[in-house]
Amino acid sequence: MKKHSIALALVSAIVSTGAIVSSTLANFAVPHKLVSRSNNEVYVYIPGQLSRSAVLGFVAGDKAITSKANACGFLRIAVKINRPMTSFSIGATNYTLATLPAVFSPMICRKVGTTSQTYIPAP
Amino acid sequence: MKRILSALALAGVVVSSIAPAVLANFAVPHKWVDAGKTYVYVPGQTPAVAVTGFTAPRAPTTRLLTLNNCGWGSFTKSATSPPTLITGANWAGKTTGAAVTCVKDAAPALTYTSNNAGAVGSVVDDGARIWIKGGTTIGSATIGITTAGTITTAANACGFVRVTASVSRPMTAFQIGATNYTLAAIPTVTAPMICRKVGTTSQTYVPAP
């Protein structure tokens, strides 16, 4: 319940700052956030990584994030109470959740033939 | 770090320069070839509704017609995919008219008389059946039938239809309403568009450029 409330609070905070913009192609090529319509959870997506490798120098708060990118080369991090992702850095670049571009539908990874392919919502 | 920035920069370049042209292919009828099969995608349709006027001629099928005592044979005319060509008969001279009859003449005669005295090869369309004069008496005749091949498949929840090209329906040329397409000329994509449910709505997804 508490988790759900915090997620909702995050949602309204993001909405109230006006950070939610239309899902453009460019947004999917950079770190961005998604507010899930199915469960109101917030996710941060980090694209452009080496598939099945951890993101170098990925730190949120004072904790290193060691999760590996998927076969398509992107990483999805769920925003949680103990990992609010309010601000994070990748190498020397700093990001804040509030200023990340927002998308309405997530990018997905799907196998096509023998290769993994990133899919994005049709514009 | 450099590698990450390079990757992001590259992604940005790709998205901004190549993407529009590649993505445009998904907005029009296009094809995808996978494992020896060719699929034709028709986007921009109303979900759960068949595409109006979507036809693709089927490959000709051979049919053995049984002829009656007057030499006439017939087959049911499909309401959705009527024949567009019949080989082995005078298709160009096809006429419309009443159903062909064949009645035995009064005894002691052993002959039969038809209400249609057309020559061998004649084709008559009575609206419900296609009649072919394959000979002068009882027997059989082989004809080749090509049909309009109306595609009645409904679009999916995302509003696109996928048709698999096959031997019987090669999709070499097809028509949607008044617009003609050829398989050779429609754009090719390297990965297919897909339909996925996001929350409560269905969303079309395309491969990231």
> Which residue from B minimizes the CA distance to A117?
B207
10 Å CB burial of residue B73 (0-12, 13-18, 19+) is buried
In this predicted structure, what is the pLDDT of residue A115? Answer: 92
Q: A13 by DSSP, 3-state: which?
A: helix
* Domain segments of chain B as ranges: 28-56+149-205, 61-147
* Contact between residue A86 and residue A26 where contact means Cβ atoms under 8 Å apart: no
Query: How are beta strands A87-90 and A75-78 bridged, if at all?
Result: unpaired
Q: What mean pLDDT is predicted for residues A72-90?
A: 94
- Quote the pTM value: 0.73
Q: Is the pLDDT of residue B176 over 70?
A: yes
**Cα B52 from Cα B200, distance rounded (Å):** 27
In this predicted structure, what is the pLDDT of residue B25? Answer: 94
In this predicted structure, what is the pLDDT of residue B20? Answer: 54
Instruction: Give B115-137 pLDDT, tens digit per residue.
Output: 999 999 999 999 999 999 999 99
Give me the percent of chain B exceeding a pLDDT of 70. 90
Name every chain A residue with its beta carbon within 8 A of the beta carbon of B16: 25-26
Query: pLDDT class for A111, splitting at 50, 70, 90?
Result: very high
Query: pLDDT class for A24, splitting at 50, 70, 90?
Result: confident
* Domain segments of chain A as ranges: 2-119
In this predicted structure, what is the pLDDT of residue A11? Answer: 35
**Cα B133 from Cα B116, distance rounded (Å):** 10
B191 touches chain A (CB under 8 A): yes
* Contact between residue B70 and residue B131 where contact means Cβ atoms under 8 Å apart: no
Q: Is the pLDDT of residue A16 over 60?
A: no
Q: What mean pLDDT is predicted for residues B60-83?
A: 94
In this predicted structure, what is the pLDDT of residue A34? Answer: 94
For chain A, positions 1-20, list CB contacts with chain B under 8 A.
none
Q: Long-range contacts for A52-60 (Cβ within 8 Å, ≥24 apart)?
A: A55/A90, A55/B4, A56/A90, A56/A91, A56/B1, A56/B3, A56/B4, A57/A89, A57/A90, A57/A91, A57/A92, A57/B1, A58/A88, A58/A89, A58/A90, A59/A88, A59/A89, A59/A90, A60/A85, A60/A87, A60/A88, A60/A89
A112 touches chain B (CB under 8 A): yes
Q: Note the ipTM here.
A: 0.77
Q: What mean pLDDT is predicted for residues B27-38?
A: 95
**Max CA-CA distance within chain A?**
43
* Contact between residue B204 and residue B23 where contact means Cβ atoms under 8 Å apart: no
